[in-house]
Structure 1
Amino acid sequence: MPIYLYWGEDDFEIDRAVVQLQQQILNPDWQQFNYHKLPGDRKETILEGLNQVMTPVFGMGERLVWLAETNLCQQCSDDLLIELQRTLPVVPDTSHLLLTTSKKPDSRLKVTKLIKEYAQVKEFTLIPPWETDRLITKVKETAQTKAVPLTSKAIELLADSVGNNTRQLCNELDKLSLYYQDHHQPLDQKATAYAPASLSTPCLGEAEIASLVICNTQNSIKLAEAIIAGKTATALGLISDLINLNEPPLKIVATLVAKFRTWLVIKLMEETGNRDNKLIAEAAEIGNPFRVKYLQREIATLSSQQLITALPLLLDLEYSLKKGANSLATLQTKIIELCCLF
């Protein structure tokens, strides 16, 4: 079908999918006549987009109309719904209508049901930061597509460093690819820089990842570990480093919340006498049950009450940041309070 709905918070992956769609559909020589990007949050531009998609192609190739960041799947007037009902079933095969939004479509709405009936729907959601196994798999797959050979430890460190930031992952791998070509690839292979690595190909290791990659997420995880160890000075130093690296304060808090939540679930199941690592991993949303023992060692000296008390402090921290409080001062104050708990 020539209608597409791309939704999700991973705007980098959505942008890449849009570029791929453009390359498939548009003739570069006629793109300025057959490509239209319009705001998708206003009735008049949505109607303009529907009119454009029904317009015959000019010259060669096909037509692409993109309604960016549309709110159609959240709200839609009755007259606009009628227009969509009239247009979507008869969109010409040579015209393509693309709808993108960061918000999850409301499946209860008539307009969402209508769009899903005629559209190819693709979801581009971010991997939750606590699902480390999925993050590691994502790094491994992306590194393979970019022909950057990494050791298993390097893959884990890179996953910890970039978290679920797909844009940063691709940028870091591009940087690592250039480094690899200059330092490890034989001269007779440099012409085919992106050929798949053989078994004898040297791999980039932890030391190279640590020296070349901005480890914002890794530092956030170290921050959580410093907090439960009661190391106030270390925690404050990590906060300063993260802010200096332009790490978004709310992302720091999200990483802390995810880590403390995982620890709390594990500790509560321990205290209730549950020793089945598979059940604990399922409850804590950990993909690999073997990681449970490692996480249990991290919180061996803690009580569930300490972890329970920490979560409201993190919630208050998030609320203060969203209300516009000074980022560094607020983070420092709350980090000191959290360290005092442990």
Structure 2
Amino acid sequence: PLMPAYYFWGDDDFALQKAVQDLRQRTLDAAWASFNYDVISADAANSPTQALNQAMTPPFGQGQRLVWLQNTSLGQRCPEGVLAEFERTLPQLPETTVLLLTSAAKPDGRAKFTKFFKSQGEIREFATISPWKTDQIRQQVVSVAQGRKLALEPSTIDLLAEAVGNDTRQLHLELEKLALYWGANPQPIPPAVATELVTVSTQTSLKLAQALKQGDAPTALTLVNDLLDRNEPALRIVATLVSQFRLWLWLKVLIQSGVQSDAEVAAAAEVANPKRIYFLKQEVRSLNLSQLQRSLPLLLELESDLKQGRDERATLHTKVIELCQGLRPGGV
């Protein structure tokens, strides 16, 4: 059943827009959509008041009315007067209206507005999953495939999770390709079929992080070329490297400061599955703290060079060699 009010937030723009589209299809009657669909930009004067007024207007013809207040900052700061309007209007919304607010930023859970909104409607998160949160990425593959009524063999799920990482747009594209290819076949899709059709990218960036950690420049340079040849954006490669190195540095600091239990380490490093800590500890064993501390500024420097428009391949090659030299086993 539809709620009267929704607040969608998060930086995974593709997933958020897809949810908006689904909501539109469920709310509006196609023939009357142009009369009953109001999109209000947060920059418009008195946009919250405008949205609430529209929301109280009965729809024309068939279907319901959908009022969408875009890019709102009410979840971060809501003037008293606007809060009072919401408190007055939301409980009175006609059953024929659905009110939608969207924002990239997370609504502040302590704010009166957020608490009130939650009591009347639903707040839904569309945040990009961190590349190292493999359990959540795998779960995302499962739920999107189920939504498309696609059965996948367990090893096909793993393969897709590795291939697309946290990129929901690519996940939808790959599943669409598989669905077209597989047709009405009721059997789960085997990994051999997926290997033929699926484009691999994020996991290669994680392999690149492993090669850097071992100080293996030839492998690291080959992986950089592979990624760029497949049109992987250089800044996305760097984002994956930064998050992986941050995680390693965090773990090393926790281990050296004497935190013993894997569960405590997992909680502090925001790793969803404490079982992964054992393997992560093995990964950082060969590194010393000062090597990791020196690597992050190099990666941030690399990010800033790329943002200033330096040549991607040359810049990545130079920094990869520097990083490998600093991370060679036995380095100080």
TM-score, scaled relative to structure 1: 0.81
Give 1:51-130 correspondences, 5 Å limit.
Answer: 51-77=53-79, 80-81=82-83, 83-130=85-132
Paired with 1:2 and 1:307, the residues of 2 have a C-alpha distance of 50
**Structure 2 counterpart of 1:90, one-letter code:** Q
Structure 2 residue corresponding to 1:141, chosen from 136, 140, 143 = 143
Residue in 2 aligned with 1:180? 182
Question: Could you tell me which residue of structure 1 aligns to residue 30 of structure 2?
Answer: 28
Matched, 1:212 2:197: yes
CA contact (8 A) 2:28 2:36 kept: yes
CA contact under 8 A between 2:214 and 2:324: conserved in structure 1? Answer: yes
Q: CA 1:324/1:231 → structure 2, altered by over 3 Å: closer, same or farther?
A: same
User: 1:103 Cα shift?
Assistant: 0.9
Q: Does 1:164 align with 2:178?
A: no
Give 2:330's aligned residue.
none
**Which ranges of structure 2 fall in alignment gaps of 5 or more residues?**
328-332
The CA deviation at 1:31 is 1.4
TM-score, normalised via structure 2 length:
0.83
Distance 2:254 2:109 in 1: 35
- Over the matched positions of the two proteins, sequence identity in percent amounts to 46
Residues matched between the structures, number? 325
How far apart are residue 250 of structure 1 and its match? 3.0
Decide whether the 8 Å contact of 1:30 with 1:58 is kept in 2.
yes
2:11 alignment partner in structure 1: 9
- Partner Cα separation in structure 2 for residue 220 and residue 108 of structure 1: 37
8 A contact 1:26–1:34 mirrored in 2: yes
Name the aligned partner's letter for residue 199 of structure 2: I
Please, which of 204, 219, 222 is the counterpart of residue 207 of structure 2?
Answer: 222
User: Structure 1 residues 68 and 246 mapped into 2: Cα distance closer, same or farther (>3 Å)?
Assistant: farther
SS at match of 1:98: strand
Question: Which deviates the most, 268-277 or 29-38?
Answer: 268-277
Change over 3 Å in CA distance of 1:288–1:122 after alignment to 2: closer
Query: Counterpart of 1:204 in structure 2: which amino acid?
Result: P
Answer yes or no: is the 8 Å Cα contact 1:149–1:204 preserved in 2.
no
Deviations 1:197-234 (CA, angstroms, capped at 9, x unpaired): 5xxx46422x5434422211011011111212223233
Shift of 1:38: 2.2
Tell me: CA distance 1:244–1:37, structure 2 relative to 1, closer, same or farther (3 Å): farther
Q: Which AA in structure 1 matches 2:321?
A: I
Distance in 2 separating the partners of 1:50 and 1:295 = 50
RMSD of aligned Cα (Å)? 2.9
Distance 2:81 2:280 in 1: 55
The one-character-per-residue Cα deviations of 1:42-71 (angstroms, maximum 9, x if unpaired) are 334444333322222211222111112222
Can you list the C-alpha shifts for 1:8-55, whole angstroms capped at 9, x where unaligned?
Answer: 122233223223322332222211111112223333444433332222
Match among 259, 270, 286 for residue 244 of structure 2 = 259
Deviation at 1:241, TM superposition (A): 3.1
Shift in alpha-carbon separation, 1:108–1:240, aligned structure 2, 3 A: same
Q: What secondary structure is seen at the aligned counterpart in 2 of 1:37?
A: strand
Counterpart contact for 2:41–2:71, Cα < 8 Å: yes
